[in-house]
Amino acid sequence: MQSFEAPRARKGSTAHELHGLSWTDEYAWLREKANPELLAHLEAENEFTRRAMQSTESLRSTLYEEILGRIQETDLTVPIKEGPYLYYTRTEKGRQYPLYCRKADEPDAAEAIYLDSNTLAEGHDYFRLGVIEPSPDHRLLAYSTDIEGDEDYTISVKDLATGELQSDRIERTYDSLAWAADNQSFYYSVLDEARRPYRIFHHLLGKAASEDTLVFEESDERFRVELFKTRSKRFFILEVASSTTTEIWLSEDGEFRLFRPRQQDIEYSLTHQGDYFYIRINDQGRNFRLLRTPVNQWQESAWEEVLPHRQDVYLENATAFANYLVVTERSGGLRRFRFQRNGESTWKSIEFPEAAYAVGLSGNAEYEANSLRYQYQSPVTPPSVFDYNLETGIAELKKQLEVPGGFDASLYCVERMVALSHDKTAVPIVLFYRKGLNRDLPHPTLLYGYGAYGSNSDAGFSGSRLSLVDRGVVYAIAQVRGGAEMGQPWHDAGRMQNKRNSFLDFVACAETLIAEGWTERSKLIIEGGSAGGLLVGAAVTMRPELFGGVLAHVPFVDVVHTMLDATLPLTVGEYEEWGNPADPEAFEYIRSYSPYENVRQAEYPPMLVTAGLNDPRVSYWEPSKWVARLRENNLAQSEILLKINMGAGHFGASGRYDRIREVAFEFAWLLKTWRLI
């Protein structure tokens, strides 16, 4: 037992009434960010957490050194050819942020550091770069910075020949920017009061932002706007998109024309190659099909099918090179690439051998290239950059992340299993553990999940995770419905009025791990962040007796009050993920699972909950209110800790060393909860 008590948030009841229902939110005052009492309360929460974790100081130092010891502190990325230059980033020992470098694509060319983010970050507790875009002639650089963690970016322009900043400075922008071919102007997007990118402007260098030309404005608050160039550099694509619906405008000469008007629940994207646009669209099935049409014939009567819709294959993306078309697909929960040479009908595949992995295209800047660059990794394979020759079919390893300290992949196991959910749906689980584990005994297990927005929880590499696995921990990933691991229908089955499937899938994964002897209740800790924080929050309020601990990062746990406040960032745009509470049926369904609404008197397990004071995605008050209500209703003696980063947002600390300290803190809490210290 601790000799000090957890902070008790005072109650300040706010009454609500909707659809004939009345309820009280006794901790609504925690939303008052400017209230000195609020800031004092958050500081008290941090002090309580600091004191509760004081006994782990030595362990945290050990973990920090372990994790740092697996990082090549001075390193560089594989250069990306773009025009006459090779672009890459470097890190240097002792410096928090990378250096952005380039050199001419010729032998013995000298390096030029064109942006030092360490210098830009000086004097700021938080620093993040948004866009980093050289002009077409590579003489100028447009870049944007966020120094609060609120994802509100400011654009600056630098002369790369002289190193001098230009007078151009544009505030309150989104991380979307595209240069015009004249090298004297660019397009960018700006945010509305709810931090939605809703306008596109054209900026002429040297002019004040107030003189910029408005190109496009979207009034429907469900939709966000973004502008980018095709890989061929011939067209600008202005994409207007909600969670379920897309509309694209195209420009070749500065005048934007509508390609296909928006139609509710129809999503599409465009890729340009030579005389054709390739169209990825879900008009005949949720897993999308691929068509093409001549660049001067946009009417649907001119469209011809390239790949049909398939029930068991999800078409994620299409990428055009001058001579090849590459598609990214998912089948059986795993990603692959297929490609086709222009003029040929045969498709060839790039397959990967491991049972679970993560792979994605990376750094393919050159439209004329005949090679495909991708990054591959798995729990036992460090991130590895390959150049795949599309002509010969040979993959060349360009660089594998070095893991100092003698990492040996042969000491570890990765396997896949399934859990049967409440409706007999098979839910994939990926397991990562050290060989030699005694399967006759239950082991400390960390079960991770996300399950929203169609985002996938693929099995990647983590050097820091080895500090847990090497201590006998089993790491598990639950690929629950709400992601798109098994195709877009997998996402549909875990959103809107199907959202409870995500939580029940996660509970089924936990029960399966226990039933098959991997772990036991007291040794099973669950982890999730943001929408994954909703996942673990809903699971623990449904089944508090099932878990031995909860690690919730910036958890989205006050779903009712957030979705009722249309002034908050993301709210209106997410009606198509969670539902609009103005609809009585959607309101009642959200109330049925929202963790904050469903806290009841029960014996809750230990918890570590994190928040960011400047977080625009999940406001700090959501985890703060949830923790307050959990403590009030907790019948157990377990500690429920809240840790608030007072100078950052959704993604935590921005510097790499600061981030390692955060991870070491969380790992120390895990090991303490498992009684492994």
Of 134, 148, 69, 137, the C-alpha closest to 101 is 134
623 membership: H or E segment, kind and range: helix 621-633
DSSP of 473-484: PEEEEE--BTB-
Of 349, 420, 416, 354, the C-alpha closest to 381 is 354
The answer to whether residues 586 and 497 touch, using CB atoms and an 8 Å cutoff, is yes
φ, ψ (nearest 5 deg) of residue 100: -100, 120
Can you give the C-alpha Rg of the chain in angstroms? 25
Classify strands 371-378 and 381-389 as parallel, antiparallel or unpaired. antiparallel
Classify strands 371-378 and 358-361 as parallel, antiparallel or unpaired. antiparallel
Classify strands 549-553 and 524-529 as parallel, antiparallel or unpaired. parallel
From the centroid of its chain, how far is CA 162? 36
Instruction: Decide if 615 is catalytic.
Output: yes
Catalytic residue, chosen from 615, 619, 624, 638, is 615
The string over 200-218, giving b where at least 16 C-beta atoms fall within 10 Å of a residue's C-beta and e elsewhere, is: bbbbebeeebeebeebbeb
Residue 457, both tokens: 């929880």
612 membership: H or E segment, kind and range: strand 607-612
Residue 218, both tokens: 């979207």
Catalytic residue, chosen from 530, 594, 638, 654, is 530
From the centroid of its chain, how far is CA 92? 26
Q: Residue 404: count other Cβ atoms within 10 Å of its Cβ.
A: 12
Instruction: Decide if 422 is catalytic.
Output: no
β-sheet bridge partners, residue 474: 445
β-sheet bridge partners, residue 337: 328, 350
Listed in order, strand segments (DSSP E) in 53-184 are 75-76, 80-82, 85-91, 99-104, 112-116, 128-134, 140-146, 153-159, 165-179
> CA angle, corner 352, sides to 349 and 354, nearest 5?
160
Residues 657 and 476: their CA atoms lie apart, in Å, by: 26
Burial of 124 (0-12, 13-18, 19+ CB in 10 A): middle
Classify strands 395-400 and 381-389 as parallel, antiparallel or unpaired. antiparallel
Residues 175 and 188: their CA atoms lie apart, in Å, by: 8
| Helix 621-633 vs helix 36-52: crossing angle, to nearest 10 | 60
Q: Residue 411: count other Cβ atoms within 10 Å of its Cβ.
A: 14
Residues known to be catalytic: 530, 615, 650
